[in-house]
Amino acid sequence: MADRKCLALIAHDQKKDDLAAFAKANEAVLAGWKIVATGTTGGRVLEACAGLDVTRLKSGPLGGDQQIGALIATGDVDCLIFFVDPLTPMPHDVDVKALMRLAIVYDIPMALNRATAEQLIDFRRS
């Protein structure tokens, strides 16, 4: 299925379990997507949903955020789900802001929490 859209998945440490649960609850829909994810997040998603097509990139702080940003800039990512933890300081906050800026600049639909991700998936389903 070469014409599948590409979905990027990222989650801060305190939100990785939430993203894996989201993926499990929406596994049938996500099966229609090509998925790229930062390293640990991708691993958690694959543990929850072994049948999904997930390409794991580097861990976010080690360059995974930038890898996804590059894919957005080249038009290879169609949608971004990034479960953000607003209560925990992030040492790589600059990378996170750069990724979000790219999603905005390139007009990529972006969800930052589960409620918005559910709406985004429902919208893309139809």
Known binding-site residue numbers: 12, 16, 38-41, 59-60, 92
Q: Is 76 a catalytic residue?
A: no
List 13, 17, 18, 65, catalytic entry: 65
Residues 6+ apart with CB under 8 A from 51: 27, 31
**Alpha carbon distance 95, 35 (integer Å):** 20
Of 25, 1, 51, the closest CA to residue 81 belongs to: 25
Binding positions for substrate are 12, 16, 38-41, 59-60, 92
Could you give the residue numbers annotated as active site?
65
